[in-house]
A = this chain, B = another copy of it.
């Protein structure tokens, strides 16, 4: 692939970072920025991952979500294995530009490697004075795909 021509703006002026239009993302001490990915139509949170500068530039250019895999320590074009890519309909950043929000169309209808639509398929009960370990509740009743069939064993 060819080198990106994108240049991220500098972050010297906090007011410009917060109130201006220049895109000046902040990468942490590991060179990563959190990315939050929601379904463009439903608003459902699909996943949360990280990007390095290259992944972010490729996401902007390609219009499909590209992350940095911390476990594999490599660029991760989501869907390269499963075919379930994320078409990026909108990219946003937050006030201090240290987080990326991707609003995507989830091709194939499922985001999670477990086969569920969203990675966030379980809820934690809220309130009261819970004691001991907490039991979660499944919020998705069934998997969209069988991960053994999609990824092999």
Contacts and interface: CB of A to CB of B under 8 A. Distances in A.
Contact of A130 (B6, B22, B113, B139): B6
Contacts of A136: 21-23, 93
B19 A114 contact: yes
Interface in A110-153: 112-114, 116, 119-139
Interface residues on A, range: 35 or more
A32 to B, nearest CB: 11
Given A23-B133, A114-B19, A92 B123 contact: yes
Given A94-B48, A122-B93, A135 B60 contact: no
B133 A91 contact: no
Contacts of A8: 133-134
A36 interface: yes
A18 interface: yes
A74 interface: no
Contacts of A5: 129-132
Interface centre among A19, A113, A134, by most chain B C-beta atoms within 10 angstroms, is A134
A101 B121 CA distance: 11
26 contacts: A5-B129, A5-B132, A7-B131, A7-B132, A7-B133, A18-B114, A19-B114, A21-B122, A21-B137, A22-B134, A36-B45, A38-B45, A43-B43, A47-B94, A48-B94, A61-B127, A61-B129, A63-B126, A91-B124, A91-B126, A92-B123, A93-B124, A94-B112, A94-B120, A95-B112, A95-B119
